[in-house]
Amino acid sequence: MIHKSQSNARQFILGLAAASVLSTTMVTAAKADVVTSIRPLAFIAAGIADGVTDTQVLLPDGASPHDYALKPSDLKKIKQADLFVWIGPDMEMFLDKPLKTLPQKKRLALAQQANIVPLLMKGDDEDKHSHDHVDEANHDTDHEHHHHGEYNMHIWLSPEIAKQAALGIHDRLVELYPEQKDKLDVNLRKFNEKMTQNDENIVNILEPAKNKGYFVFHDAYGYFEKHYRLAPLGHFTINPEIQPGAQKLHNIRTQLVEHKAQCVFAEPQFRPAVIESVAKNTGVKMGTLDPLGSGLEIGPDSYMQFLTQLSKQYASCLN
């Protein structure tokens, strides 16, 4: 009888332990994180959320924010997010409808924030110094498909906007986790200090590349080029999904033959044979720029690492 009682007690204790583990597992599974649309935004968010909550990214490496089809698992991740950070509908139209199901406090469209709107570049701003003349018909078609508006939405490539994005994410996380305000304040201060130091390092990295002409495949780098005073000659396409026209390719090749450019940059996501064919027998070097930081780990220093990596990609081809 005593043995049976001990056995029942042991089963009861084991049952409680199992229930506790199950409860913990369920809480963990239900735990929501900061989720961002693209990897560079996760780099910024991770710097602010470090030690407070995890940061996840929605789009897998190699996917383009210009044209992505959401999967059921993506929709689930959006629904469970404590905070979803994205550029906005002008860049990521595919997210507009799903994100409207989230409460306002759980979604942050950076390009619509009051502290970021004044820093946005108009499409024409990034081409002021371009020697590349595009026929108007092609330009209008590309512009409509790519920007869906008058501004360049590649805002994650602007160090100034990144700081404002970090502030916006900080303020929203303080609302969501008021008990973590001190930690979030420290993270924001560290992020800004690291950005200042990193900016000085990048200026040094890019110094030998100043005033050296080049072409990029995809019209994505205007903010970065403007900030660091680089000298792009133009781009192959505004929308990476659309191949450049014959007239544009002729104009680019003419400039390559005349040695106005030192380098032509492709991208990991887009390596069209058209770049190789245009650059063939011109003596112009080919490089690769990664505007999304594919493969970089998400952590508190990731955004600084991302900008440094991009700078070195420029420098390695232009030096």
Dump pLDDT digits (tens) for 279-303: 888 889 999 999 999 989 999 999 9
Would you place residue 239 in the very low, low, confident or very high pLDDT band (cuts 50, 70, 90)?
confident
Where are the strands (E) in 136-228, listed by range? 214-218
**What span, in angstroms and rounded, lies between the C-alpha atoms of 34 and 53?**
7
Cα torsion angle, 160, 40, 243, 147, sign: negative
pLDDT digits (tens, 9 = 90+) for 190-202: 999 999 999 999 9
Closest alpha carbon to 110 in 223, 232, 225, 270? 223
Q: 264 near 271, Cβ under 8 Å?
A: no
Give the count of beta carbons closer than 10 Å to the beta carbon of residue 27: 9
pLDDT at residue 315 in the model: 96
pLDDT above 70: residue 29 = no
**Lowest-confidence pick of 131-135, 212-216, 283-287:** 131-135
Mean pLDDT, rounded, for 212-234: 93
Residue 162's SS3 state is: helix
pLDDT at residue 11 in the model: 54
**What span, in angstroms and rounded, lies between the C-alpha atoms of 35 and 30?**
14
pLDDT at residue 127 in the model: 42
Work out the widest C-alpha separation in the chain, in whole angstroms: 99
pLDDT at residue 119 in the model: 97
pLDDT at residue 199 in the model: 98
**Lowest-confidence pick of 37-41, 58-62, 239-243:** 239-243
pLDDT at residue 149 in the model: 66
Residue 60's SS3 state is: coil
Question: Comparing 239 with 80, which gets the higher pLDDT?
Answer: 80
Mean pLDDT, rounded, for 233-256: 83
Among residues of the chain, what percentage have pLDDT more than 70?
Answer: 81
Phi-psi region of 137 (alpha: psi -120 to 50; beta: other; left: phi over 0): alpha
pLDDT at residue 301 in the model: 98
Cα torsion angle, 220, 221, 227, 232, sign: negative
Residue 215's SS3 state is: strand
Give the count of beta carbons closer than 10 Å to the beta carbon of residue 114: 8
pLDDT digits (tens, 9 = 90+) for 53-79: 999 999 998 888 877 899 999 999 999
* Residue keyed to tokens 């070097």: 285
* pTM recorded for the entire structure: 0.82
Cα torsion angle, 193, 60, 120, 240, sign: positive
> In the beta sheet, which residues pair with residue 34?
55, 83
Where are the strands (E) in 178-300, listed by range? 214-218, 232-237, 263-266, 285-288
**Lowest-confidence pick of 24-28, 115-119, 230-234, 309-313:** 24-28
